[in-house]
A and B are shown apart, each in its own frame.
Chain A
């Protein structure tokens, strides 16, 4: 177990290190940061001055090592546009996105796992068809359209929920549903096919043959096996929600990191962009690690070989 743990942990660190390098390079390759900072119509001398001030005249690898060195001491740099520490900027935006992502994932899991299980227990029935319909709709509807539909129905027509901002929990309901619904079809279908498989397996037959209560057979001896691939998928989906919720955050005016990234790219605020890329990459890597650990907890064959 210890070997497994340390291996996984090292892998995660490696992934974060590599992605940090790529993030850094991408930002620097996408244009001259000094020119962008100096602004339109700046003279050659002005750009040179900016370049010297911010150290862009040094070789790339020196800049990278400098950046990594500062990150390791907890300093993510300073936003030139916002005139604030990037750490403080992120501290304001990350919780919003994290809340949104977790709520969306919770919604997705709460909807798709029970639906998937029921569909698998009663294949080719009305319930199964309904679940399929939910899945197809989730896959086919563009998320912005679904979000606008929700907004119109519950925000404008029934006036039940606030349509923009992130002040209270109420503000997170619609964005979470809009974002989570998009993840529902894949999770539901994976749950369904996994359950269909496992309910045919020998150990489930044994559980039945020994008279165990139906919910025990389904949950303890069925779902526990079927959920393992779902955990990995859910981790990736959550990572996607954290990094890719720009559309939803923009529609509902949630001040999350997706929104911040969008603004920062327009302003060429490279310290912020780099930090966001790093945070998202790290979140992905850590989530994958968590999923692996959760799976090892679920299936002893993974942790004891």
Chain B
């Protein structure tokens, strides 16, 4: 991708958090690029570091978290050494964020219009009247009926779907170049989820912004993303276009994820869905093996012996695995678990879930 269309460029991003004397490393050496008009989905299970990556890009991590990166660029500006003041100028103006739970993400004490104007007036020299007018227009644009009245309402008077639309309108206030949506539909009803996703996609195409979509739901990704970045245990394990990754996953973790999605028409009733055994390991210290080794059905001695570097695969894809780069090692049989294990897995699914899908 040529550099002039690149909005976000993250290279070698690591986050370390000291916890009770040991050093937690929830994000390790993450590379991410988002181009203008591009939707990049960061996919992974809870605790894989995807939300922390997003917060690090926003400069929103708590004080005690240590963020390191080789490059953290928004457009061509390096943010690695940006002052807190510069961060504040960028946030909400050039990067906007949409959060997971619209029920709590808005301040219950202020009217919708008040909250939107506050953001607009923070970043633009604009009168209250004009700010209200723009807020109203945007509420209309994100499909909220009777926007004039919504401006005067408090968040608790709106439904979850409407509130998430308000969040999206808020994100659009200052015409940002990049929107980070962190699980934007997880807290919503399934029917509302589809509406919100369609809205996000329409807006993204219309305004040609970059969209970084963070989700654990491959189903969400399918219709939305241009590229997929799969994260596991704080590392990026696979990168490719949406179609490539979903049709032919290269990394065993991605393969496990794809297998755990039920396919209408193909998945039989009563059939056990694929799942990945084991739980996510705690991310402490340096890696001395592949991060996925304990849960990987293809694991070899090499995988136990050293950490696995990222490498190029066919069709400009990236993978962090020693398996052949053309996907020829994929074997559906390794995912078929003995009956006993399957039953056990199903029974304990509530307490030790494999990825939440």
Using CB atoms and an 8 Å cutoff, list the residues of chain A in contact with chain B: 201-203, 205-214, 216, 220-221, 224-225, 298-301, 304
In the complex with contacts A202-B101, A216-B118, A300-B156, A209-B107 CB distance below 8 A: no
B residues in contact with A216, CB < 8 Å:
118, 122
Cα distance A225–B108 in the bound complex, in angstroms: 9
Measured in the bound complex, the distance between the Cα atoms of B88 and A207 in whole Å is 10
- Kindly list the 9 A-B residue pairs having the minimum CB-CB distance in the complex, ordered from nearest: A210-B92, A211-B91, A202-B104, A211-B92, A203-B107, A211-B88, A209-B97, A300-B154, A210-B119
A225: B residues at CB distance < 8 A: 109
Minimum CB distance partner of B94 in chain A: A211
List, sorted by A's number, 30 A–B pairs whose CB atoms are closer than 8 Å.
A203-B104, A203-B105, A205-B60, A205-B99, A206-B97, A206-B107, A209-B58, A209-B91, A209-B97, A210-B122, A211-B89, A211-B93, A211-B122, A211-B123, A212-B88, A212-B92, A212-B119, A212-B122, A214-B88, A216-B118, A221-B107, A221-B109, A224-B109, A225-B109, A299-B109, A300-B108, A300-B109, A301-B108, A301-B156, A304-B154
Shortest distance in angstroms between B42's beta carbon and chain A's nearest beta carbon? Answer: 17
Whether, in the assembled complex, B157 has its beta carbon less than 8 Å from a beta carbon of chain A, the answer is yes
Interface flag for B293 (CB, 8 Å): no
Determine the distance from Cα of A301 to Cα of B92 in the docked complex, in whole angstroms. Answer: 27
Q: Does B106 reach chain A (CB closer than 8 Å)?
A: yes
The size of the chain B interface, using a CB distance under 8 A, is: 29
Q: Please, which residues of chain B bring their CB within 8 A of the CB of A209?
A: 58, 60, 91-92, 96-97, 99
How many angstroms between the C-alpha atoms of A301 and B99 in the bound complex? Answer: 22
Most buried by B among A201, A225, A300, A304: A300
Report B93-130 CB contacts with A as 1/0, cut-off 8 Å.
10011010100111111100000001100110000000
A207 touches B107 (CB 8 A): yes
Contact surface of B with A, Cβ cutoff 8 Å? 58, 60, 87-93, 96-97, 99, 101, 104-110, 118-119, 122-123, 154, 156-157, 167, 170
A201 — which chain B residues lie within 8 A by C-beta? Answer: 104
A45 to B104, CA, bound (A): 75
A299 touches B108 (CB 8 A): yes
In the docked arrangement, what's the CA distance between A211 and B173, Å? 13
Contacts of A205 in B (CB 8 A): 60, 99, 105
Residues of chain A with a CB closer than 8 A to B108's CB: 203, 299-301
Apart from A300-B109, A304-B157, what are 10 other A-B pairs with CB-CB below 8 Å? A201-B104, A203-B104, A205-B105, A206-B107, A209-B60, A209-B91, A211-B89, A211-B92, A211-B119, A221-B109
Option from A202, A213, A300, A304 in Cβ contact (under 8 Å) with B88: A213
Residues from chain A with a CB closer than 8 A to the CB of B104 are 201-203
Is A210 touching B91 in the complex (CB atoms < 8 A)? yes
Residue of chain B at shortest CB distance from A204: B107
Interface pair B99/A206, CB less than 8 Å apart = yes
Residue of A nearest to B170 (CB): A210
B105 — which chain A residues lie within 8 A by C-beta? Answer: 202-203, 205-206
Write out the residue numbers on chain A whose beta carbons fall within 8 Å of the beta carbon of B170. Answer: 210
Least CB distance, B182 to chain A, in whole angstroms: 10
Q: Tell me which residues across on chain B come within 8 A of A207, comparing CB atoms.
A: 107
> Would you give the shortest CB distance from A293 to chain B, in whole angstroms?
16
Task: Report the minimum CB–CB distance from B196 to chain A (whole Å).
Answer: 17
Task: List the B residue with the shortest CB-CB distance to A200.
Answer: B62
Smallest distance from the beta carbon of B122 to chain A beta carbons, Å?
Answer: 5
Q: Which of B99, B105, B110, B123 has the most CB of A within 10 A?
A: B105
Task: Write the nearest CB–CB distance from B164 to chain A, whole angstroms.
Answer: 12
From A209, which residue of chain B is reached at the shortest CB distance? B97
Q: How far is the CB of A301 from chain B (nearest CB, A)?
A: 5
